[in-house]
Amino acid sequence: MESAAAQTAAAATEVVGGTAPDPLAQLQQELTTAKDALAKEKQEHQIERLLVAASVVDVDATRTLVEQAMAGGLDMPQAIAQVRQRSPQLFKPPASVRGAALAPAARPHAASELEAAQREALTCGDRRAVLRYLRLRRQAG
């Protein structure tokens, strides 16, 4: 009479065909799965790197759109260009456009005012004078 542990071990090793599973085939399957996951991670990382370089506002949403475009047969740069064309709101505007819109008007007497604030901050040492000078210097440059 067999013990219950021996029966359980024998039942665990049996497969429908009566043979134990091939450990080499199982390891090859796991290796293939791991390689596929690594390739997908590398592709996602490369897409994210290109999107950051393209000044994307929302990397995750844009990456999803790029992956969909790539599934349609486009390569990575073409997919990014297509997403930029279809959804420009996902990309930051060029620096020249942003800077021109936000640049303050130049003040002609700013240099003399800055120099006066600097002299006042140096001579009196008052905290408010130093802060005023620093604020003017930051605004000037």
Average pLDDT over the chain reads 80
CA 69 to CA 54: how far, in whole Å? 17
| Neighbouring residues of 90: CB distance < 8 A, sequence distance ≥ 6 | 56, 57, 58, 61, 62, 65, 83, 84
Each residue of 100-116: pLDDT tens digit?
555 555 565 667 888 88
pLDDT of 50 > 70? The answer is yes
